[in-house]
Chain A
Amino acid sequence: EPEVTQTPSHQVTQMGQEVILRCVPISNHLYFYWYRQILGQKVEFLVSFYNNEISEKSEIFDDQFSVERPDGSNFTLKIRSTKLEDSAMYFCASRTAPGENTGELFFGEGSRLTVL
């Protein structure tokens, strides 16, 4: 069964360092998302990506964050200068185009980021 894969599963970094989280969405999917979940809290929408550009982003997704799809398969989330409050589980998700299904999101297993 196709799946979304994320790397690394866990990253520990020092405050102020840059972090890149990687995702390989399901191959025929067209919409890509990043969500984050701080421990014990809700799953928060960060950004959606379609047709090689950001289609929507939340207030959380400030200038410290960026996304790109450099090679047609990987979908990356970069945090330029990490803060303590960026510590969270980051989930990548993908889905097919509208009209082809109900809009089910398929999630990766997540990348846990710990900022010290």
Chain B
Amino acid sequence: RKEVEQDPGPFNVPEGATVAFNCTYSNSASQSFFWYRQDCRKEPKLLMSVYSSGNEDGRFTAQLNRASQYISLLIRDSKLSDSATYLCVVKEDASKIIFGSGTRLSIRP
């Protein structure tokens, strides 16, 4: 089983749509969870951390279900600038932080 698994997409949605990404992880002892964004041929950058109680940052909402080992990201009112690859990232311990394969999102006008 892959350590961090994501639907690779691509998701192709119109501007203004709501889109949701899912991620599962295999190590139940994992400590922290994040969503990163990666633009084409660029380095990954933190989008938001994911907390057990769920958290929101503007149009972005992240959820964590530790029992199911499942993480989600919801983007509301999507913008053209949201087009990117979204990476689910799991901090298993202080030394090991691993990435999912990413979900490609393309927003069309």
Binding site for B on A (CB under 8 A): 31, 33, 35, 41-45, 48, 50, 55-56, 89, 91, 98, 102-105, 107-110
The reply to whether B99 and A45 form a contact with Cβ atoms under 8 Å apart is: yes
Q: Could you tell me if A56 and B96 are in contact, using CB atoms closer than 8 angstroms?
A: yes
Contacts of A55 in B (CB 8 A): 94-95
Query: Which of the candidate stretches B18-26, B42-50, B70-78 sits at the interface with the other chain?
Result: B42-50
A48→B102 contact, CB < 8 A: no
A107 touches B94 (CB 8 A): no
> Which residues of A sit under 8 angstroms from B42, Cβ to Cβ?
109
Could you say which interface size class chain B belongs to?
A: 20 to 34
On chain B, the residues within 8 Å of A102 by CB distance are: 32, 34, 49
A108 with B98, Cβ < 8 A, contacts A43-B87, A103-B32 known: no
- Interface contact B43-A31, CB-CB below 8 Å: no
Closest residue to A105 on the B side, CB-wise?
Answer: B97
Closest A residue to B51 by beta carbon equals: A102
B95→A42 contact, CB < 8 A: no
Q: What are 27 A-B contacts with C-beta separation under 8 Å?
A: A33-B97, A41-B101, A42-B99, A42-B100, A43-B44, A44-B99, A45-B96, A45-B97, A48-B95, A48-B96, A48-B97, A50-B95, A55-B94, A56-B96, A91-B43, A98-B94, A102-B32, A102-B49, A103-B31, A103-B34, A103-B91, A104-B34, A104-B46, A104-B49, A105-B89, A105-B97, A107-B45
**Which of A42, A48, A56 has most B Cβ within 10 Å?**
A42
